[in-house]
Amino acid sequence: MTSHMIPSVSSSHSPVFFAPEHEMLRDQVRRFVETEIKPHGEAWERDGMVPRDVLRHMGKLGFFGIRYPEAMGGSDMDERATVVFAEELGRSTFSGVAITALVHTDMASVHVWNAGTDAQKTKWMPGIISGDVITAVAVTEPGAGSDVKGMRTTARRDGDDFILNGAKLYITNGVHADLYCVAAKTDPDGRASQSVTIFLIEKGTPGFTVSRALNKHGWRCSDTAELSFDDCRVPAANILGDEGRGFYAIMQNFQNERLVLGAMAMGEAQAALDMTVTWCRDRQAFGAPLWDKQAIRQRLAMLQARVEACRQMVYATAHRASLGEDVVKEVSMIKALGGELVNEVMYDCVQFHGGMGFMSESPIERMSRDARVQSIGGGATEVMLEEVAKRM
Ligand SMILES: Cc1cc2nc3c(=O)[nH]c(=O)nc-3n(C[C@H](O)[C@H](O)[C@H](O)COP(=O)(O)OP(=O)(O)OC[C@H]3O[C@@H](n4cnc5c(N)ncnc54)[C@H](O)[C@@H]3O)c2cc1C
């Protein structure tokens, strides 16, 4: 069984939240997924990376400039377009490809755009948008993940430079990126929220090494690395935004990041449900298709109802975010709900595929592995629920 057999079933998108330009984008991404991702995804999973020419192709089609101004080569769209992009990449069934692109567009390069000086933007944004410069964001450390304030990497001032020492863990695009947004404490004795600064660091900077490529349960074609900074000298001109304001920049961008992860999760869940309905209609047991068993089709129907509800919440929240509303509570709900729901969907979809669901040759096996991290990365469910509870 190959991914080519996966039906492309359209879901109900809301004309309330989307304009024709969003639907055009959706069609364009969906075409790219069918012709450029699905036929090659398995090979990239084996290679542990998405080839750079594929990322350049995405850049050429405008996918990396969705949120950036036309003057920089982008198309100046809003959160709704980002959600469309993430959802369609999630539907590809190759979430490792999705996360490779989405970390670049919505989790790393956004720091350059949001906080960069004119000089930094002029230097980096055209390459970021074209896909010639791939970005990574390095916040997590061996001793600090959910608790960002616990980071230990330091940046000590030395004249016009800073000297970084420390390590970063689980960094997506960490092996193959060109440009890294690295968080470090510039005042290790100060209050954590006032002492984190983000630095732009290029691959090849002396003292900065990719210490190892990490092997993982899912997202296998997305490269993930541990990074090491050993007396790494970086000019003060490479600071992104104001010194000591990095913690707030990270927290601010978490909102966009979590919305994107929610949209991606609902794309994954929808693809799994579509695939499983098709499977159950074909697969015979006890003299009839599995779909004839009420227990099975009702379970899938309830999952479809929940996925639809979560997806509509993603759309509504993207719409509200595009109007400038505060959606921290909703985004945290989406991350918690979507991250758990996609795993529930995968569990049942594997179950109804029977033995085939456990075979590496079936897409649902890969998809269930890929989904596991959705309740952990970018804000674990429990951490998200605390954000919701605080606002209740
Ligand atoms: C594949 C992958 C890619 C990643 N990419 C990046 C990247 O590009 N850049 C980057 O900076 N980071 C990245 N991360 C890191 C990711 O965001 C963290 O793994 C995540 O924030 C959780 O941190 P942790 O792993 O240190 O878990 P911990 O913080 O040690 O938490 C472990 C578990 O404890 C529970 N927990 C934590 N806090 C609470 C609480 N307050 N209440 C109750 N339970 C709690 C949760 O279940 C959590 O999963 C990536 C991680 C993975 C796995």
What is the Å distance from ligand 1's center to 316 Cα? 27
How far is residue 357's CA from residue 133's CA, in Å, rounded to a whole number?
A: 38
Pocket lining: 93 vs ligand 1, CB cutoff 6 Å: no
Q: 133-184, pLDDT tens digit by residue?
A: 999 999 999 999 999 999 999 999 999 999 999 999 999 999 999 999 999 9
Q: What is the pTM of this model?
A: 0.96
Alpha carbons within 13 angstroms on the beta-carbon side of residue 26 total: 19
CA proximity to 12, closest of 349, 312, 342, 260: 312
Q: Are 217 and 369 in contact (CB under 8 A)?
A: yes
Q: Ligand 1 atom 53: the closest Cα is on which residue?
A: 377
How far is residue 277's CA from residue 296's CA, in Å, rounded to a whole number?
A: 10
Q: Are 73 and 125 in contact (CB under 8 A)?
A: yes
Pocket lining: 171 vs ligand 1, CB cutoff 6 Å: yes
Alpha helix ranges (H) inside 131-245: 192-195
Q: What is the pLDDT along the chain (392 residues), one digit of tens a residue?
A: 333 343 343 445 677 899 999 999 999 999 999 999 999 999 999 999 999 999 999 999 999 999 999 998 999 999 999 999 999 999 999 999 999 999 999 999 999 999 999 999 999 999 999 999 999 999 999 999 999 999 999 999 999 999 999 999 999 999 999 999 999 999 989 998 999 999 999 999 999 999 999 999 999 999 999 999 999 999 999 999 999 999 999 999 999 999 999 999 999 999 999 999 999 999 999 999 999 999 999 999 999 999 999 999 999 999 999 999 999 999 999 999 999 999 999 999 999 999 999 999 999 999 999 999 999 999 999 999 999 999 99
What is the Å distance from ligand 1's center to 377 Cα? 5
The number of the ligand 1 atom at minimal distance from the alpha carbon of 375 is 49
What is the Å distance from ligand 1's center to 306 Cα? 25
What is the Å distance from ligand 1's center to 245 Cα? 22
Per-residue model confidence (pLDDT) at position 13: 67
226 among known catalytic residues: no
Query: What DSSP line would sit under 116-143, residue for residue?
Result: --HHHHHHHHHHHHHTSS-EEEE--BTT
Pocket lining: 336 vs ligand 1, CB cutoff 6 Å: no
Q: What is the dihedral of CA 286, 356, 4, 101, to 10 degrees?
A: 130
Helix axes 381-390, 328-353, angle to 10 degrees: 150
How far is residue 74's CA from residue 21's CA, in Å, rounded to a whole number?
A: 14
Q: 213-259, pLDDT tens digit by residue?
A: 999 999 999 999 999 999 999 999 999 999 999 999 999 999 999 99
How far is residue 342's CA from residue 90's CA, in Å, rounded to a whole number?
A: 11
257, 268, 365, 387: the active-site residue = 257
Q: What tokens does 95 get? A: 């979430």
The number of the ligand 1 atom at minimal distance from the alpha carbon of 222 is 1
Per-residue model confidence (pLDDT) at position 230: 98
Pocket lining: 218 vs ligand 1, CB cutoff 6 Å: no
Residue 24's CB is within 10 A of a number of other CB atoms, namely: 11
Q: Ligand 1 atom 16: the closest Cα is on which residue?
A: 377
Query: What DSSP line would sit under 260-279, residue for residue?
Result: HHHHHHHHHHHHHHHHHHHH
Residue 270's identity, in one-letter code, is Q
**Of 140, 250, 382, which is best to mutate to test ligand 1, by the most ligand atoms within 8 angstroms of its C-beta?**
140
Phi first, then psi: give them for residue 211, nearest 5 degrees.
-70, -35
The number of the ligand 1 atom at minimal distance from the alpha carbon of 107 is 8
Pocket lining: 376 vs ligand 1, CB cutoff 6 Å: yes
Q: Ligand 1 atom 20: the closest Cα is on which residue?
A: 377
What is the Å distance from ligand 1's center to 392 Cα? 24
How far is residue 319's CA from residue 74's CA, in Å, rounded to a whole number?
A: 20
Q: What tokens does 357 get? A: 């669901």
Q: Are 163 and 145 in contact (CB under 8 A)?
A: no
